[in-house]
Amino acid sequence: MSAILNKKIIKNYNSNLPYNEILKLSPISLVHFNELKPIAHTIIEYFGCNISKSSDDKLFLQTTSGKNQKISLNLQIAFGFKLSKMSGNRITDKLKKLLDINYLVKKLIELQMIYKEVYFLSKSNYSYVTDVALTNYQKKINFYNQSINSALLLSSSGTLTVFKKHYFSKQSQNSEHCHTTKEVKQLAAKTNKSWLSATITCPSNFHITPQSNSKSWDGKSTPLDANEFQNIIWENTLRKLAKININPFGHWTKEANKSGALHRHVLIYASVEELNITKKWLTHYTKMAYKKLNHKFTKRAIHFDDDSCDNHVKLNKVVNYLNKTLRNKNKTLLKSSEKVEAHAHLYKYRRFGFFGLQKSLSNWRLLKQFVRTDIKTKMPTSLKKLLIFAKNNEFHKFLLSPLKNLITKVVHECNFAKNKVVGFGFHGQEFIFKQRYFDFYEQLLNNLSLRVFFDIKNINFSSLSTSY
């Protein structure tokens, strides 16, 4: 445990503040409160008494200055927390959540934990995350692995198997992603595509610990904000390209900086002309994002490289570089990789993904899952060809085959849970190999299977967690 986290350096604030005083506090002020329930009560009381509806059913809030403000998703609640962050699809649903004391207290505690982490990271010599965040991540992963190893799975036929055999571990997911990126590279080469790589960085205000011995953090931005910053740039670029009928494909990774900020690596495959247009719009939206935060756009904000897929050596280096934190076997760098994982876990963002291949990729995963079940059944010869690709893990051959367009998903609709994909269809024939919801509920009644999910869902992780 670091010395900085053991010291009583936080001054405690009075929780019984009026709402107008709460509204003045910066987000980082949350770390100074021991009790958050009185804060939540004050917020609920204020909003409960000051929300009104106009004759045309529009909702308004009487502000602390006495003005009527139309309620929107950007409405500030407290500590930089906006209405948009509440769960619910409509504004009225979000307001109901806001007025729920248990929900609001939980949200404030989650936010406080984030700000405690960045607060202590800014005052320590740690990189990526504090030792507290890393220790809590390790404890949770260890508990998760123990639960997986001890759980049993009861099939609908009554057979008991070890759940671990059906579980796709994080290491397996990382390896699968790395392999698929190489398959996508082969697809690009066989379809005569060129490539463009880009690294998008965050402005200085997101860097919590000093860079080059120079402090630049604004005292309020968190990796949650850095993740949103990165997502806005990338999503705006993809949206613009779709409007002008450019549909590149490729993959991306998001990595934590040692300073706690984030950067994104992207590898894009398309024609040379399309890549030039993509580069233009990616630069444009990066500039816009920097400008919105009143930061100067420099060459360090985004870095590009490009070449033909014929240059195999150079392209291999780029692909391996994007996957470096997913396939790291170097013992000296293993600790850094674990910190990068802890960072992603704490701030709840995806570390890697694909674009331009979503439908094909989901169908491909279904075929691979079907192959692993080793189910023996009659099927068309054309489907057998696709299953051979899946068995050999040859994703690029699957993508090049027109037969892939004949695959459809079989979905089990359920009134008490989300709809579940239970198999696939091919030429009018259905292949169902996943259990439906009522199968799961039968198993749960027997209390023999899927116990791991209830262990993890119901465990009080606060009893396992190390405190700041």
- pLDDT per residue over 384-413, tens digit each? 999 999 999 999 999 999 999 999 998 877
Separation of alpha carbons 291 and 372, rounded Å = 50
- pLDDT per residue over 152-200, tens digit each? 666 555 666 666 666 677 888 889 999 999 999 999 999 999 999 999 9
Q: Is the pLDDT of residue 201 over 80?
A: yes
Q: Is the pLDDT of residue 5 over 50?
A: no
**Given CA atoms 290, 294, 297, 301 in this order, what sign does their dihedral have?**
negative
Q: What is the mean pLDDT of residues 29-39?
A: 93
Range among 151-160, 272-281, 326-335, 357-366 with highest mean pLDDT value = 272-281
Q: Which helix (H) or strand (E) holds 44?
A: helix 37-50
Candidate from 83-97, 271-285, 424-438 with smallest mean pLDDT: 424-438
Range among 19-28, 159-168, 201-210, 262-271 with highest mean pLDDT value = 262-271
SS (HEC) of 262-311: EEEEEEEEECHHHHHHHHHHHHHHHHHHHHHCCCCCCHHHEEEEEEECCC
What are the phi and psi torsion angles at 429 (to 5°)? -100, 135
Separation of alpha carbons 363 and 406, rounded Å = 10
- Cα–Cα–Cα angle for 357, 225, 142, nearest 5°? 75
Angle between helices 312-322 and 170-190 (to 10 degrees): 150
Q: Which helix (H) or strand (E) holds 420?
A: strand 420-426
Residue 113: which pLDDT band, with cuts at 50, 70 and 90? Answer: very high
Percent above pLDDT 70 for the chain: 84
For the chain, give percent helix, strand, coil, nearest 5.
50, 15, 30
What does pLDDT average to over the chain? Answer: 86
Residue 463: which pLDDT band, with cuts at 50, 70 and 90? Answer: low
CB within 8 Å of 250: residues ≥ 6 apart: 184, 195, 266, 267, 268, 269, 354, 355, 356
Q: Is the pLDDT of residue 434 over 80?
A: no
Separation of alpha carbons 304 and 431, rounded Å = 44
- Cβ 144 vs Cβ 456: under 8 Å: yes
All structural domains of the chain: 3-122 (no CATH), 192-356 (3.30.70)
- What pLDDT, on a 0 to 100 scale, did the predictor assign at position 297? 94
- The more confident residue out of 444 and 206 is 206
* Residue 325: exposure state from Cβ atoms within 10 A (0-12, 13-18, ≥19): buried
- What pLDDT, on a 0 to 100 scale, did the predictor assign at position 122? 92
Separation of alpha carbons 327 and 174, rounded Å = 7
- What pLDDT, on a 0 to 100 scale, did the predictor assign at position 456? 47
Q: What's the count of helices (H) and strands (E) in the chain, helices before strands?
A: 16, 15
- The more confident residue out of 177 and 2 is 177
- The more confident residue out of 466 and 76 is 76
Closest Cα to residue 319, out of 191, 177, 192?
177
Buried b or exposed e, range 160-194, using 16+ CB within 10 angstroms: eeebeeeeeeeeeebeebbebbebbbbbbbeeebb
Separation of alpha carbons 322 and 333, rounded Å = 15
Give the residue carrying structure tokens 């930089």: 80
- What pLDDT, on a 0 to 100 scale, did the predictor assign at position 464? 56
Percent above pLDDT 90 for the chain: 64
Separation of alpha carbons 351 and 230, rounded Å = 12
What are the phi and psi torsion angles at 122 (to 5°)? -65, -20
- What pLDDT, on a 0 to 100 scale, did the predictor assign at position 6? 44
Strands (E) in 49-182, as ranges, are: 51-53, 59-62, 68-70, 76-78, 81-82, 152-154, 160-162
**Given CA atoms 449, 409, 191, 381 in this order, what sign does their dihedral have?**
positive
Give the residue carrying structure tokens 């580069």: 279
- pLDDT per residue over 60-70, tens digit each? 998 888 888 99
CA distances from 282 to 99, 185, 196, 267, 354 (A): 40, 21, 11, 12, 17
Half-sphere exposure of 161 (CA within 13 A, CB side): 10
Closest Cα to residue 117, out of 103, 134, 104, 100?
134
Residue 449: which pLDDT band, with cuts at 50, 70 and 90? Answer: very low
Separation of alpha carbons 108 and 332, rounded Å = 38
Q: Is the pLDDT of residue 445 over 50?
A: no
Closest Cα to residue 181, out of 242, 253, 274?
253
